[in-house]
Amino acid sequence: MLLLHAIKRVSLLACAVVALGALSAWAGDQKENKAKPLSGVWVVDGGELKLEFSGKDGLKIFPHGDNKVIVIICQYKLAKDQRIEAKITEFDGGDEFKQKVMQLLPIGLEFDFRWTVKDDRATLADVRGEKDKIGLLKSRLEASYVEKK
């Protein structure tokens, strides 16, 4: 009888150790799967458009690459469905260009897209937003990108 109780206790202890190990591994996986802020400077492969991710929520779009005629400044957040949700917050560049771009892409315009990175290459696809305004962004942003080092 005493031997039976000892076996039960050892079995219970072994199950507890296995359960704790599984919980620990699961918690580690959850930390690794947590969304990290986007980072780096990316240019369209074979084009001039440039994206710059900075901080935890900053995105700058340089339609003319290193020529800063106009810069579209956005805030972004990572959505639960693996999409990037962005909102235009301001423009930088010459006043004349800012006025022209604001007519097409007003401050406050929200859009979202899929951003997939593998090594030093990325794809921006499936841009969505306000139907009468998003066409301009969609036609320019959807492309393959390479990381600028």
Query: Mean pLDDT in each 10-residue stretch from start to end of the chain (149 residues)?
Result: 47 38 42 66 94 95 92 94 93 92 94 94 95 88 94
Q: What is the DSSP code string of 26-89?
A: HHHHHHHHSPPPP-EEEEETTS--EEEEETTTEEEEETTTT--SEEEEEEEEE-TTSPEEEEEE
Per-residue pLDDT at 133: 83
In CATH, the number for domain 40-148 is: 2.40.128
Structure tokens at 31: 């930390």
Per-residue pLDDT at 88: 97
Confidence (pTM) = 0.74
